[in-house]
Amino acid sequence: MLGEKLLEMLKETGAYLEGHFLLSSGLHSSHYLQCAMLLRYPRYAAFVGEEIGKLVMAFDPEVVVSPALGGIIVGHEVARFLDVPFLFCEREGGVFKLRRFPYPKGKRALVVEDVITTGGSSSEVGSLIEKEGGVWVHTACIIDRSGGKHSLPHEPTSLLKLELPVFKPEDCPLCKKGIPIYKPGSRPL
């Protein structure tokens, strides 16, 4: 199954870790996900781009748009598979803008992200596309962590759905067991 194959790739590349982690939100988790670890291998980036591309072909997108930075590599690979242009949005003064490209008037856009948690970034990109005169036809990602609780107007396409447990520090069962905590990207605390 595709989801299982992807999970193996995520584990193999260190993109999906199990243990005891301090997240940037201040919450603790037993799992940590960092898609950049998977996407540093172009072969895997091409694989996820192709698999997402196959699933979204029916929406007939004419352009792929991603939020920088997380969506750039995967969005580019999806666009390559679909053989359509790829654009990315960047934050300027806290809001997403198409700083480097004009939006192709009236074109059907697919928004692509690496991970959807709340759907906030994708929604913002989708709204921008509509403001620029485009049609936001669909949204896709590698991993959907939303558990269905996202702000998107449609259900996104994903290769894998994951719901990772998070705990407040005072309620963390891993802290209670005395397991050392790691801040991903750094040495043990």
Which residues lie near Zn ion (CB under 5 A)?
28, 172, 174-175
Could you tell me if 128 and 97 are in contact, meaning their C-beta atoms sit under 8 angstroms apart? Answer: yes
Angstrom CA distances, 21 to 15, 31, 92, 185, stand at 13, 7, 31, 10
Quick one: tokens of 18?
A: 């199990």
Give dist(CA 151, CA 176) in Å, integer: 34
As to burial, measured by CB atoms within 10 angstroms (0-12 exposed, 13-18 middle, 19+ buried), residue 59 is middle
State which residue has the least CB distance to Zn ion.
172
Closest CB to Zn ion among residues 8, 171: 171
* The amino acid at 24: S
Closest CB to Zn ion among residues 28, 107: 28
Per DSSP, 151 falls in state -
Closest CB to Zn ion among residues 4, 170: 170
CB of 161 to Zn ion, least distance (A): 24
CB of 186 to Zn ion, least distance (A): 16
Closest CB to Zn ion among residues 98, 175: 175
CB of 176 to Zn ion, least distance (A): 8
Closest CB to Zn ion among residues 26, 148: 26
CB of 171 to Zn ion, least distance (A): 9
* Alpha helix positions (H), the chain: 2-12, 35-39, 42-56, 72-82, 120-131, 173-176
Could you tell me if 128 and 89 are in contact, meaning their C-beta atoms sit under 8 angstroms apart? Answer: yes
CB of 13 to Zn ion, least distance (A): 25
